[in-house]
Amino acid sequence: SFVSLRQRILSAVQKNATRGDPRSVIRAIDQFCSQKEWAMNVGNEKGCILDSVVSEVNPATVLELGTYCGYSTVRIASLLPPYAKFITLEFNPDFAAVARQVIAWAGLEDKVKIKPCLVEGASSDWIPKIKEQFGIKTFDLVFLDHWKEHYLSDTKLMEECGLLRKGSVLLADNVICPGAPDYVEYVRSSPRYKSHYFRSHLEYTKAEENLWYLGIIE
Ligand SMILES: Oc1cc(-c2ccc(F)cc2)cc2nccnc12
Ligand SMILES: [Mg+2]
């Protein structure tokens, strides 16, 4: 029967990565996606930028919008201190099912366990419920990597729900490709944000891409 791309990625992890070793899970996915089939993981080049931002912010609370197969979830979770609270939202139940198994293979299922850390459903439905559901006041770091049409509306929703504070950092993937022009326009013209972009490339390709870093200053 037909095996989906996400299932082939999971099989590559289970075949080539060592249980309990997050770095081997990341390496197995990157090898599969650079040698066999392209997939929309953030990839190793942008992943190293993500790692440096996570290490610098050293967040106690993290929100990831868009889990997909859990590649960036594993990268982020493996850098967090044990007390950190990490929530990742995934709309697509099939992606969420694979991500749970990839996170478990990396041995991080308790690290991202804010019951349930991997939340299935629309970010716009979940963002207003995060405070009371997870006992989180504000996020130190938000990684936006879901549908680009929702970057701006979800950022405004997080502001309205009081989930962002002075010093919160938003890091957005794909602001060039597929692109989130309304988001970039809004944050660049807002006095609330200090924005900066990291030049990089679309995962597993030579196409130009940026990771868009936002520090909230007010
Ligand atoms: O990193 C990404 C890349 C792409 C993507 C798809 C097709 C292309 F041709 C180029 C880029 C889509 C994404 N959707 C959600 C989250 N991240 C994405
Ligand atoms: Mg992306």
Higher pLDDT, 2 or 115: 2
Burial class (CB in 10 A: 0-12, 13-18, 19+), 159: middle
Q: How many whole angstroms from 218 Cα to the centroid of ligand 1?
A: 31
Our mutation pick for probing the ligand 1 site, out of 5, 29, 40, 151, counting the most ligand atoms within 8 A of Cβ, is 40
pTM as predicted: 0.97
Beta bridge partners of 215: 169, 194
**Cα 47–chain centre separation:** 10
Task: Mark whether 203 is an active-site residue.
Answer: yes
Task: Mark whether 51 is an active-site residue.
Answer: no
* Banded pLDDT at 177 (limits 50, 70, 90): very high
For 110-124, how does the pLDDT look when each residue is reduced to its tens digit (9 = 90+)? 766 543 378 999 999
Predicted complex ipTM exceeds 0.90: yes
Question: Helix H segments across the chain?
Answer: 5-16, 22-35, 43-57, 71-77, 93-105, 123-126, 130-134, 151-160, 181-189
Q: How many whole angstroms from 205 Cα to the centroid of ligand 2?
A: 13
For 143-164, how does the pLDDT look when each residue is reduced to its tens digit (9 = 90+)? 999 999 999 999 999 999 999 9
> Span 160-186, mean pLDDT?
96
Spatial distance between the Cα atoms of 121 and 133, rounded to a whole number of angstroms:
14
* Res 110: pLDDT: 78
